[in-house]
Amino acid sequence: MQRHGLTANCQKGFTLIEIIAVLTILGILSALAIPKYMYLQNEARIKSGQSAISEIKTRLSNAYGQYLLANQGTAPSNIAAICNLVNDTSILPANANGNIPLGNGFTATLSDGLITITIVDGVSVSGVTGTWTMPN
């Protein structure tokens, strides 16, 4: 003789209420985590853009030093003179105005000392700017 009541009590598994509770908790966690993740991605792009600005400032400072050496210590009258001395658009744009090649999905422009990064890793960013001024 089989006992039908015994097999029903020995079944293992989750109830529908437990599954719904877990799914609800996972939904709440994902609703909180996804916006934070997107924010962190944008912050990383901005930091990467700021790093690119530092590289461009270093290029300008090096070009300034080259100008001083080439002109017996006479300071340049403007940033365009520095860029024209370098005469290599793969480093700095001619006349201190134009795009600056950086690679890796960056788009940067120089306009008389104002450096603007508009694209990082193929994604548009805003508010990533820097200024380089000639030393006195």
pLDDT digit string, tens, across residues 40-93: 988 888 898 899 999 999 999 999 999 999 999 999 999 999 999 888 888 899
What integer is the mean pLDDT of 5-10?
Answer: 57
Would you say residue 121 lies in a domain? yes
Residue type, 61: S
> 45 or 9: whose pLDDT is higher?
45
Would you say residue 6 lies in a domain? no
Asked whether the CA dihedral 91, 93, 96, 98 is positive or negative, the reply is: negative
Residue type, 8: A
Q: CA 114, CA 110: separation in Å to the nearest integer?
A: 6
Q: CA 43, CA 37: separation in Å to the nearest integer?
A: 10
Q: CA 123, CA 46: separation in Å to the nearest integer?
A: 11
Residue 115 tokens read as: 């450096």
Residue 8's pLDDT band, with cuts at 50, 70 and 90, is low
* Number of domains present in the structure of the chain: 1
Indicate the pTM of the whole model.
0.72
Domain extent at residue 125: 16-131
Residue 71 tokens read as: 């002109």
**What is the 8-class DSSP label of residue 11?**
-
Q: CA 7, CA 27: separation in Å to the nearest integer?
A: 35
Residues forming a β-bridge with 97: 111
